[in-house]
Structure 1
Amino acid sequence: MADVKQATALVELLEAELRSRCTDIDTFQGYYRGEQPLKFASDEFRKYHGHRYKDFSDNWVQVVADSPVERLTVTGIKPAGADKADKESWRVWQTNALDADSQLGFLGAVTSARSFALVWGGSDGDETPIVTFEDASSCIVLYEPGSRRRRRAALRRWQDGEQYMAVLYLPDQVWKFQRPIEGRRDKTQDMAAADEQMNGWVPRDMGVQEPNPQPNPMGVVPVVELPNRPLLVDEPISDVRGVVPMQDAVNLLWAQLFTASDYASFPQRVILGAERPVLPIFNEQGEIVGEKPIDIEKFAVDRVAMFTGDDVRIAEWTAANLNAYTDVIEVAVGHIAAQTRTPQHYLIGKMANLSADALLAAETGLVKRVEEKQLWYGQALREVFALVALAQGDEAKARALRGGHLLWADAESRSQAQVADALLKLKQIGFPFEFLALRYGLTPTEVADVLAMVEREQELDPLGAATRLMTRTPQPDGNAPIRQPVADEAAA
């Protein structure tokens, strides 16, 4: 068990690491929202045109991040040794609205390289544990040396008014801390260090009704990390990390294209060999006392100008070829598609009479990308379901869930006709209805409802019931009953 000094030191250590991650997290999340500062190719372009495009972005980051998340749908979990999905685990999942919030957790992992899930027991008398997904900027997990799964501690930090709040989760204890938010950033280094020492983390005063620390009845750290594209010896990788520099290039090209379209998209005519025309200035007596240049902008409105002289001639600058910009932008978007395994028709929106096989081939990269995420997120979510069982006091079920199988909706996007044809072929080679219903995309709960509907429908069909009874009646010679075709089978 940790004492106050050890717990405080651990909070400071974890918060320092969390702060170091927040720079990249804030950048990636800002790019996802379209908050993309324009990067300029030259100081001259920034000087004359920077203010025009400071709020412009052509947001491909959002498309890349959303494309796998829309195909990540949990439909249940099957414990090890069980032949059906666990109903209680799914009830807890639905009660906590995780059918929707899990999408936020997956999006956070795809964008920020990781997200977290927190499990804790419900209030007194409530048997439903509380499960929430947490952002990468608010949580951090400390693992045992040499392990990527055995959790040693976890910290959750958030801002509440003028205070930072934090909860430190240990296998046997839960500590709650607070500290003031830092003041001005323009202080000297010594004064900032003094403020940091004065405004450090201190245990929260929870009163006599709630001790601090309090025991952790689950016996394990109840925070689970969902890593995105993890590596053996380095941090997980965000799906948008490689998109950000290409996004900057695309935004700059659009800004240059807009500028070119404003200045050089029309032919420019030039008058050579003539002085700028002038108008005489008359006094009250009608005498010429001076001259003034003609307003050139008036020519642009009137579209008529007259010049005199022996060598006057008109030349023309041809309009700029704006296709050069759009061609480069299309190549850049193609690079984004290839690097992130995002189908090009998601990005450029061009589909011309693609066959079903061609569309399936075009989305193969995205499907494999989704299946990789199902593998890594599935490991974390099995642990989340195990923590739910621990919060309910069922250790045997927790062990079975850790070794169980997470159920996902099909990652492939296929038409109803394709799905029906595939399921019919599976039915013909002997696959049972329940398996086919799961492959169709129904959740285990929906499959149970459909099976109950089938039973009720059969009970309301007297002819079908009599036929089924006849098929089960033993023959007088003691042989097995003769299998007769059932009405619904004949119809199939």
Structure 2
Amino acid sequence: MPSELMDLMHGIQELADARPDYDRAQAYYEGEVPEVFASSRIRRALRANDIDFDLNFAKTAVNAVVDRLEVAAITSPDKTVNDLIAKLWDDNNLALELPDLHRRGCEYGDAYLICLPFVDDNGTVLRVEMFYNSPQTVRIIYSQENPRLKEFAIKRWVDGCYRRVELYYPDRIERWTTKKNASGKDEADWEHWLAGPDEDTGEVDPESWIIEHDWGEIPVFHYRTDRPYGVPEHFGAYGPQNAINKLQSTHMGTVDYQGFPQRYALTEAATTDTSDLEPGDWDDADFPPDDRGMGPSDSGDDSSLKAGPGELMLLRGFKAVGQFDAAQPAVFLDPIIFNVRAMAQITTTPTWMFDPSGEQPSGQSVRGQDAGFTRKICNRQLSFGSTHREAFVFSLRQLGVEDPMVDVRWVPAETVDTQEGWQTVGEKIRNGVPRKQALMEAGYRAEQVDEWLEGVDDAELSRRVGILAAVADSAQKLGAAAALGVVTSEQVQALLTGALSDIELLAGVEAKT
């Protein structure tokens, strides 16, 4: 194999090998996984009628993490650099791009951000484009000797009757294309993807398939939940979700029997006369509808058994009648609940996030249930935040900043907002824990705490914590009152809004005095 084709074919093979797992993760997230039935007859019946009763709980394991991954700010101590960060943010609409990047990173386990500088004719960088790419089409190949070292990155896509590939290196980008309608599986299918003819000379540069640059870095940045490649957040939910799909579909199959029980009649063989009975009480499949679109079972004359005052039910030739009881719903619902709990345990997701009733535990019980989940969120913030920093440092260097400092801050994975939580903060402070440390352990950022503590002594802080605990206690009790119907939710909101406004006003007066 020619040396220039080795990386190309290796990258294509890596993409092909990884693609099924990413497709599977996508299917489970979107709820497109078919039920597994031992009976081929049942499989055919469900497929023929396009029946879908799926309860997609696996998606919750992904969304629960994504909802906690909110970037608070990306900043720099240098004002000029801050202005450039703001430009990158606005130029690339990162307020929408980053949440989608986080979601895909959690859904697939991997996601990629490509950052490409765009220059004018004089070589001046006008902007840097930062955009998400799916791991189904992009992959970074790492060194076997040093797994943290990127050897190159590959991006593959279909363009009409051609297949295109770009290989990214620290000093160049190689562009490849297949011959028309070629599959791209063989080396002979690929050739250099040359740029168009020169506007002045009309000639094609035979070396234009290579774009040289001096970036010194591969412009592809890898967001991942593990190393070297990630694992979907809902990977552990695949098995329980399969069980739930099967149980739910089977349960829905029994609903017909609960609404329309299957009946039976025991006959005396010598005396049975069924000449007056219509064939098939409930099945009109063999009887085409009349001009009014009605079948035999729509006529009201299907059976001699008529219920009503003064009606006589005549049973000729039958010695006993009855019906078969359908399976009880608990036979299916109880195992579904078990599998949901198993899914929560395996994916380290709080059980209450899967609760269809919408009931959320309150107080310290939530913090206890969320402990493992919060640690997972912190790990994701650490991993994704490091990659955010790398991408912004690279982009700022292309804009002319030699050694930029970038700070990525997240909205806390967990903050104290209950009476028990604020009472705990107060107890820590009263027992000697530094004020800043106690508030940071409550989930608030260091710069927030510094701003709050400026000019505030221990006594004042203790008083403020007490007020917050009282407000949290009142909110909890008013919420319970609203649930009981004693007050309306609008009244509760008005009361709390008024109380908070009074507290803010009082704080402002005290600050002036």
User: Which residue of the other structure, out of 439, 448, 464, is the alignment partner of 2:444?
Assistant: 439
Residue 72 in structure 1 maps to residue 69 in structure 2: yes
Q: Which amino acid aligns with 1:329?
A: I
Kept in 2: contact 1:38–1:54 (CA 8 A): no
Q: Work out the CA distance in 2 between the residues paired with 1:300 and 1:132.
A: 71
CA pair 161-295 structure 1, distance change in 2 beyond 3 A:
closer
Residue aligning to 1:465:
none
1:396 deviates by 2.2
Q: Work out the CA distance in 2 between the residues paired with 1:13 and 1:355.
A: 53
Kept in 2: contact 1:76–1:86 (CA 8 A): no
Residue aligning to 1:152:
151
1:377 deviates by 1.4
Residue 259 in structure 1 maps to residue 282 in structure 2: no
Residue aligning to 2:408:
406
Q: How does 1:426-465 map to 2 (within 5 A)?
A: 439=444
User: Which residue of the other structure, out of 11, 14, 17, is the alignment partner of 2:8?
Assistant: 11
Q: How does 1:18-417 map to 2 (within 5 A)?
A: 18-52=15-49, 54-77=51-74, 87=82, 88-124=84-120, 127-180=126-179, 196-208=186-198, 211-230=208-227, 235-264=229-258, 268-274=262-268, 276-279=272-275, 294-295=278-279, 297=281, 298-299=302-303, 302=306, 305-308=313-316, 312-352=319-359, 354-397=361-404, 400-401=405-406, 405-412=407-414, 415=417
CA pair 300-198 structure 1, distance change in 2 beyond 3 A:
farther
CA pair 414-64 structure 1, distance change in 2 beyond 3 A:
same
SS at match of 1:272: strand
Kept in 1: contact 2:173–2:211 (CA 8 A): yes
Greater displacement, 70-79 / 133-142:
70-79
1:29 deviates by 1.2
Q: Work out the CA distance in 2 between the residues paired with 1:487 and 1:266.
A: 69
Residues matched between the structures, number: 417
CA pair 167-418 structure 1, distance change in 2 beyond 3 A:
farther
Kept in 1: contact 2:142–2:151 (CA 8 A): yes
Q: Which amino acid aligns with 1:112?
A: Y
Q: Which amino acid aligns with 2:336?
A: I
CA pair 421-178 structure 1, distance change in 2 beyond 3 A:
farther
CA pair 384-148 structure 1, distance change in 2 beyond 3 A:
farther
Q: Which amino acid aligns with 1:151?
A: K
Q: Which amino acid aligns with 1:239?
A: E
Kept in 2: contact 1:270–1:315 (CA 8 A): yes
User: Percent same amino acid among aligned pairs?
Assistant: 19
Greater displacement, 69-78 / 368-377:
69-78
1:317 deviates by 3.3
1:390 deviates by 2.3
SS at match of 2:112: strand
SS at match of 1:217: coil
1:63 deviates by 1.7
Q: Work out the CA distance in 2 between the residues paired with 1:111 and 1:154.
A: 21
1:331 deviates by 0.7
SS at match of 2:59: helix
Kept in 2: contact 1:72–1:408 (CA 8 A): yes
Kept in 2: contact 1:142–1:151 (CA 8 A): yes
CA pair 411-52 structure 1, distance change in 2 beyond 3 A:
same
Greater displacement, 252-261 / 417-426:
417-426
**1:53-111 Cα distance to aligned partner (Å, 9 max, x none):** 554422122222111111112233466xx599961334423431122211111121212
CA pair 8-419 structure 1, distance change in 2 beyond 3 A:
farther
Question: Structure 2 regions of 5+ residues with no counterpart?
Answer: 200-204, 282-301, 455-506
Q: Work out the CA distance in 1 between the residues paired with 2:211 and 2:79.
A: 37
Q: Which structure would you say has the larger RCO, counting Cα contacts within 8 Å and 6 or more residues apart?
A: 1
1:135 deviates by 0.8
Residue aligning to 2:457:
none
1:126 deviates by 5.0
Kept in 2: contact 1:206–1:212 (CA 8 A): no
Q: Which amino acid aligns with 2:105?
A: A
Kept in 1: contact 2:364–2:420 (CA 8 A): no
Q: Work out the CA distance in 2 between the residues paired with 1:56 and 1:351.
A: 21
Residue aligning to 2:503:
none
Greater displacement, 348-357 / 335-344:
348-357
CA pair 421-100 structure 1, distance change in 2 beyond 3 A:
farther
Question: Structure 1 regions of 5+ residues with no counterpart?
Answer: 185-191, 280-291, 452-485
Q: Work out the CA distance in 2 between the residues paired with 1:40 and 1:85.
A: 62
Kept in 1: contact 2:363–2:421 (CA 8 A): no
SS at match of 1:371: helix
1:408 deviates by 0.9
1:488 deviates by 5.5
Q: Work out the CA distance in 2 between the residues paired with 1:300 and 1:40.
A: 39
Q: Work out the CA distance in 1 between the residues paired with 2:191 and 2:425.
A: 59
Q: Work out the CA distance in 2 between the residues paired with 1:130 and 1:106.
A: 18
Q: Work out the CA distance in 2 between the residues paired with 1:323 and 1:364.
A: 32
Give the alignment's TM-score, normalised by structure 1: 0.72
Q: Work out the CA distance in 2 between the residues paired with 1:312 and 1:159.
A: 71
CA pair 86-205 structure 1, distance change in 2 beyond 3 A:
closer
Kept in 2: contact 1:250–1:332 (CA 8 A): yes
1:171 deviates by 1.1
Q: Which amino acid aligns with 1:328?
A: P
1:32 deviates by 1.7
CA pair 327-201 structure 1, distance change in 2 beyond 3 A:
farther
**1:325-352 Cα distance to aligned partner (Å, 9 max, x none):** 0111111111111111222222223355
1:156 deviates by 1.6
